[in-house]
């Protein structure tokens, strides 16, 4: 008989609510910052990667290279903070990660530009991005572990979906902030110093998040294995256990890569793509991004809820197949000037909506792949490695390939290629995994 997953009796509704809020708030700040960086990519290109202060294609590629480098440090952060979190607890580790991430994000707003200190400017920016990458790598695994380990029976998908929902909220907050700063300062003022304000806002956000995390309880699952670790027998040799974890991480990467590529292509890279290739203004590009992220946000929680009813496999597989089928038609709509504002808005909304159907069940799916003793590390590595390659490099790959080939359909091809691999990997999901207890 299939066993429904459960939580410790002490995990009351109040503790569960705190877990969702405190677990998700760091994710909000992380994606707010990555959104701000992506939305201001053309401004940052001129400020940090151009002697003249004007960002061209080469400067934009360099900006995305710095963006990608930080992503490649996320797996290192996932491994480092994951082992700390699996050994000493989720709560203290998430507090350290939050402090590091908030300070590093705010620091970008204080960095001198290329015209001030020359080549040292992009070097400093990249160093700060590396610190952000390390902290971001430790955020996801711990937050998802906290949320899913507190989740009540039959609601792990819905609870985990809040983690993805804060991605949408963070990106929307980043887009809204960028648009507001653009209105306040204008294009000239924004390029001068107005862009810095978006990064400075990470400090008050970080203070609020810290207060919430200080009230967080340790998870029931972690307390259980902590209490029994002294006299529990070793279930398998350490080497064999890590081989199984490594295999699960590889499968997890395959299941996530379509989500990673499509999410960043349609939700973060799109503003620069619209400006660089379709002659959209900064404000037009931001409006398109807000609409796409609104579609993304709307579908996440229903998709997580539905995955608790019919399983993660069918919800995520359907979403992945849809994004494969719709990638080229949706991009062609955006490329057509005759479609008009309504048509363009509908295209980006649909793209965001479909990505949300994959992102909703994603955190719970990952949590179910790993036992408690390595859950923080395992799911954190799977997520960060997938994002390092297929999200962090999305802007760099797309911009560079368009510059080399002149083919503006590159974003759709990129999404399709990664989506096909993900569809194959998702097909291997067990249909009843959502009904089983989380492994200890």
Average confidence (pLDDT) over 190-214: 90
Which comes out higher in pLDDT, residue 431 or 78? 78
357-383 confidence digits (pLDDT tens): 999 999 999 999 999 889 999 999 999
Q: How wide is the angle at C-alpha 183 spanned by C-alphas 180 and 186, nearest 5°?
A: 130
Sign of the C-alpha dihedral computed for residues 346, 350, 351 and 352 taken in this order = positive
Give me the helix-helix angle, 120-150 and 74-88, nearest 10°.
Answer: 40
CA separation for the pair 267, 170 (Å, rounded)? 11
Q: Which of 168-172, 201-205, 229-233 has the highest mean pLDDT?
A: 201-205
Answer yes or no: is 233 within a domain. Answer: no
CA separation for the pair 282, 269 (Å, rounded)? 13
Measured between alpha carbons, how far is residue 319 from residues 10, 60, 330, 392 in Å? 36, 31, 15, 22
Q: Is residue 297 very low, low, confident or very high in pLDDT (cuts 50, 70, 90)? A: very high
The DSSP annotation for 292-320 comes to: HHHHHHHHHHHHHHHHHHH-HHHHHHHHH
Res. 95: pLDDT tops 90: yes
Q: How many other C-beta atoms lie within 10 A of the C-beta of residue 346?
A: 16
Q: Is residue 157 very low, low, confident or very high in pLDDT (cuts 50, 70, 90)? A: very high
Task: Please say whether the beta carbons of 377 and 141 come within 8 A.
Answer: yes
Average confidence (pLDDT) over 389-396: 78
Average confidence (pLDDT) over 200-224: 89
Least confident segment among 50-59, 134-143, 206-215, 396-405: 50-59
Return the pLDDT at 238: 53
Q: Roughly how many angstroms between the first and final C-alpha of the chain, as a whole number? A: 19
Average confidence (pLDDT) over 59-83: 82
109-118 confidence digits (pLDDT tens): 999 988 888 8
Answer yes or no: is 440 within a domain. Answer: no
Res. 93: pLDDT tops 90: yes
CATH classification at residue 88: 1.20.1250.20
Q: Is 134 exposed, middle or buried (0-12, 13-18, 19+ CB in 10 A)?
A: buried
Q: How many other C-beta atoms lie within 10 A of the C-beta of residue 310?
A: 12
245-295 confidence digits (pLDDT tens): 899 999 999 999 999 999 888 876 666 666 666 677 767 777 777 888 899
Res. 82: pLDDT tops 70: yes
User: Domains in the chain: how many in total?
Assistant: 1
Return the pLDDT at 45: 78
Average confidence (pLDDT) over 171-196: 85
Return the pLDDT at 411: 87
Return the pLDDT at 430: 86
Sign of the C-alpha dihedral computed for residues 8, 213, 387 and 406 taken in this order = positive
Answer yes or no: is 229 within a domain. Answer: no
By residue count, the chain amounts to: 440
Residue-range definition of the domain harbouring residue 294:
13-224+238-435
- Provide the percentage of residues in the chain whose pLDDT is more than 70: 89
Measured between alpha carbons, how far is residue 188 from residues 35, 46, 54, 194, 375 in Å? 21, 12, 11, 9, 47
Give the DSSP letter of residue 217.
Answer: P
Q: Which two tokens stand for residue 155?
A: 């609601």
Task: Please say whether the beta carbons of 22 and 141 come within 8 A.
Answer: no
Average confidence (pLDDT) over 305-310: 96
Sign of the C-alpha dihedral computed for residues 425, 77, 219 and 214 taken in this order = negative
Answer yes or no: is 1 within a domain. Answer: no
Return the pLDDT at 182: 83
Return the pLDDT at 207: 92
Task: Please say whether the beta carbons of 183 and 32 come within 8 A.
Answer: no
**Average pLDDT value for the chain:** 84
Res. 301: pLDDT tops 50: yes
Res. 61: pLDDT tops 50: yes
118: three-class secondary structure by DSSP:
coil
Task: Please say whether the beta carbons of 46 and 191 come within 8 A.
Answer: yes
Answer yes or no: is 102 within a domain. Answer: yes
Q: Which two tokens stand for residue 377?
A: 């590390």
How remote is the C-alpha of 49 from its chain's centroid? 25
């Amino acid at each position: 008989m299939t066993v429904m997953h459960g939580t410790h009796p002490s995990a009351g509704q109040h503790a569960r609510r705190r877990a969702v809020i405190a677990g998700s708030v760091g994710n909000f700040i992380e994606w707010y910052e990555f959104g701000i960086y992506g939305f201001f990519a053309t401004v940052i290109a001129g400020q940090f990667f151009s002697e003249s202060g004007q960002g061209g294609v080469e400067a934009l590629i360099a900006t995305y290279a710095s963006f990608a480098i930080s992503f490649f440090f996320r797996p290192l952060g996932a491994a480092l903070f994951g082992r700390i979190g699996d050994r000493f607890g989720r709560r203290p580790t998430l507090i350290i990660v939050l402090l590091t991430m908030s300070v590093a994000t705010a620091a970008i707003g204080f960095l001198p530009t290329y015209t001030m200190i020359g080549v040292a400017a992009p070097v400093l920016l990249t160093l700060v991005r590396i610190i952000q990458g390390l902290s971001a790598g430790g955020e996801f695994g711990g937050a998802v572990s906290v949320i899913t380990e507190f989740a009540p029976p039959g609601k792990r998908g819905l609870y985990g979906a809040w983690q993805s929902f804060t991605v949408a909220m963070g990106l929307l907050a980043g887009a809204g902030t960028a648009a507001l700063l653009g209105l306040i300062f204008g294009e000239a003022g924004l390029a001068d110093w107005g862009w810095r304000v978006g990064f400075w806002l990470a400090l008050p956000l970080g203070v609020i998040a810290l207060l919430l995390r200080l009230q967080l309880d340790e998870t029931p699952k972690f307390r259980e294995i902590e209490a029994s670790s002294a006299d529990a027998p070793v279930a398998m040799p350490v080497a064999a256990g890590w081989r199984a974890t490594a295999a699960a991480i590889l499968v997890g990467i395959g299941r996530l890569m379509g989500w990673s590529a499509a999410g960043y292509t349609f939700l973060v890279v799109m503003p620069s793509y619209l400006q660089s290739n379709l002659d959209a203004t900064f404000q037009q590009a931001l409006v398109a991004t807000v609409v796409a992220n609104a579609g993304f946000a709307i579908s996440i929680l229903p998709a997580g809820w539905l995955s608790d009813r019919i399983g993660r496999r069918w919800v995520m597989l359907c979403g992945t197949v849809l994004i494969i089928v719709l990638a080229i038609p949706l991009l062609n709509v955006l490329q057509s000037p005759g479609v008009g504002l309504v048509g363009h808005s509908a295209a980006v909304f649909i793209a965001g909506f479909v990505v949300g159907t994959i992102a909703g069940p994603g955190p719970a799916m990952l949590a179910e792949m790993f036992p408690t003793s390595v859950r923080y590390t395992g799911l954190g590595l799977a997520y960060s490695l997938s994002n390092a390659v297929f999200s962090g490099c999305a802007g760099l790959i797309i911009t560079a390939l368009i510059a080399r080939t002149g083919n503006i359909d590159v974003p759709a091809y990129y999404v399709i290629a990664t989506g096909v691999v993900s569809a194959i990997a998702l097909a291997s999901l067990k249909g009843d995994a959502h009904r089983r207890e989380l492994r200890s």
